[in-house]
Structure 1
């Protein structure tokens, strides 16, 4: 299912796109109860953002230090790292660069395995995830985007409210993205439909697996419970917040060395690069959505691209859309 930047699977049909003159890039999106505008406060915004993002991770680290040897064990950390990597790459390599944007094509077993791994991230069923992300690209940071941080305008109060919306608030809105419009190729794929139906069972599996392995390794149910907590619940929560940070922070903070479409404010945010497996090189991704590599400049770590390269050398993926020097240069600001 190869896609191009103008494919209907990446950009919605013309009759669904808002007219450019209907959105000025700063006002709240239509049909929203927008807050009154305020000026300034950029430093306050950055400080609040840092607290929201950093504090939960500091709390987890402190809890681990205090509970080490009592309610957390080395096996829990190893299991958490392994499952975080497997499920995270399922999202980035499988759901995102493969199924959403066709940055490569995969042989059937690898395609299915990546879809299963991504489903075990607890981020939603594969078809719904892909449909939502394609819609995000069709309407990035303008009316129609399901999780733009600019939904409530560009003034301070609007951006703070928009940050919360883009990070997690949009999940609670009754704003369904029709897969019939945005992911018809996946609806027609028997294997992907099967993985999609199995999503509830895979959610159970992603929690049962650390519990069972912890019990087997430690020899008691207590080891199973601590593995469930750290390699199950905490691992899922961390991956959730990293993914959501790409939706929120990577459209508000960071660098924009590449040109994107009008109103698209996707940025590169280097502190998230490793945790997000390269997804936080978000500016290049929005400048060239089908590229299999997002971190294209020197020193930009992109583990997802490295995995795709390994799979390509093994003959398990092909038709990989690697960025060329000319294509990257053409998109620089």
Structure 2
């Protein structure tokens, strides 16, 4: 990609391939990027259908309850709390900690972060990390896990690409080679423990808000409200907050930094994505614990990480220098 301003800001053309499109990792020519194991593929499709379909039903139920009976301030407050906890579990834990090693923590901290991420029902740590590292290695090429540019031919090219990047990829016919991209996660005993009980953590993320809302309301309706709104509907909202970064933030938005793919920033998504929508910033500086490079850019995830650092729960928080930032501007 050219380093000129026009090229850096152009998100209407598919990106050039940065490397030959093969099914091999650059590190080891004999290791495949994806696996064609039919058992793994069927399991991925089934789990994707389950963990996308049930939360969608939860959204429908939440709309019905909201229109007919209404939700209390307790229900809404627990929804917001669970949303922030589980979204941070993905963006702060799965993404910035496990995938990019942007900060460090102890064994107990790692355990809590992994469990928080599991409550979002986006898969175990190693699976998520492998897909994300594959995304960075092959961003916006045919080997990318979820690029909106995977098929830019025909009348519906934009919609097909956005659907694929958003969630369609999870119903595909390939399964990421976890051992190739996340061998460190596979070997990690804490990660292995959380993975072994993964479905229980997902259920905990549903049971906990139901119990809290039920206890505070003192009614079975409170239990139902918590389960539907702060449980199922919350999972759907978190999932689509993550998905929209993969789709919209590689197709529309601004590009203040020159990168080798088509990542973009979208200010209007900064609040619901806890800062993940400063996606061009992230691709320019993937190892940074914050996506904020301007004083006005809201990055709630980065703020939480800094606060955890202040109280000593995390440390060695990685950031970028002004010199490095300036070197990547067009």
The alignment's TM-score, normalised by the length of structure 2, stands at 0.80
Q: Which among 27, 38, 44 is matched to residue 13 of structure 1?
A: 27
Q: Specify the alignment match of 1:296 in structure 2.
A: 293
* Deviation at residue 317 of structure 1 after TM alignment: 1.6
Given that residues 90 and 116 in structure 2 are in contact (C-alpha distance below 8 angstroms), is that contact kept between their aligned partners in structure 1?
A: yes
2-side partners of 1:98 and 1:323: how far apart? 16
- Alignment correspondent of 1:54: none
Equivalent residue, structure 2, for 1:44: none
- Find out whether 1:98 has 2:112 as its counterpart: no
Structure 2 match to 1:159: 158
Aligned: 1:208 with 2:207: yes
Question: Which deviations, in whole Å up to 9, do the C-alpha atoms of 1:81-100 show, x marking residues without a partner?
Answer: 01001111111111100100
Match of 2:114 in 1: 115
For residues 254-301 of structure 1, the C-alpha deviation after alignment (integer angstroms, 9 at most, x for no partner) is: 00110112xx10000111101111000000111111111112113110
Q: Which residue of 1 aligns with 2:240?
A: 241
Q: Secondary structure at the match of 1:242?
A: helix
In structure 1, the residue matched to 2:278 is: 281
Cα pair 1:115 1:195 within 8 Å, conserved: yes
Q: 1:273 to 1:78 in 2, by over 3 A?
A: same
1:1-333 to structure 2, matched below 5 A, reads 12-13=26-27, 15=29, 66-67=67-68, 70-153=69-152, 156-261=155-260, 264-333=261-330
The unaligned stretches of length 5 or more in structure 2 are 1-24, 33-58
Count of matched residue pairs:
281
Structure 1 CA distance for aligned equivalents of residues 112 and 319 of structure 2: 22
Larger RCO (alpha carbons 8 Å, 6+ apart): 2
Q: In 2, distance between residues paired with 1:16 and 1:164?
A: 31
- Distance in 2 of aligned mates of 1:288 and 1:154: 31
The 1-side partners of 2:163 and 2:157 are apart by: 10
Query: What's the secondary structure of 1:145's corresponding residue?
Result: coil
Q: In 1, distance between residues paired with 2:257 and 2:96? A: 19
Task: Report the Cα offset of residue 154 of structure 1.
Answer: 6.0
Q: For residues 87-118 of structure 1, what are the alpha-carbon distances to aligned partners after superposition, in whole Å with 9 as ceiling and x for unaligned? A: 11111111100100011111221121111101
Alpha-carbon distance in 1 for matches of 2:106, 2:63: 43
Q: C-alpha root-mean-square deviation of aligned residues, in Å?
A: 2.3
Could you list the runs of 5+ residues in structure 1 that have no partner in the other structure? 1-10, 19-57
Q: Is the Cα–Cα contact under 8 Å of residues 103 and 290 in structure 1 kept in the other structure?
A: yes
SS in 1 for 2:156: helix
- What is the alpha-carbon distance in structure 1 between the residues aligned to residue 61 and residue 320 of structure 2? 38
Matched residue SS, 1:223: helix
Counterpart contact for 1:71–1:226, Cα < 8 Å: no
After superposition, the C-alpha distances for 1:299-329 in whole angstroms (9 at most, x for unaligned) are: 1100111111111111222221111111111
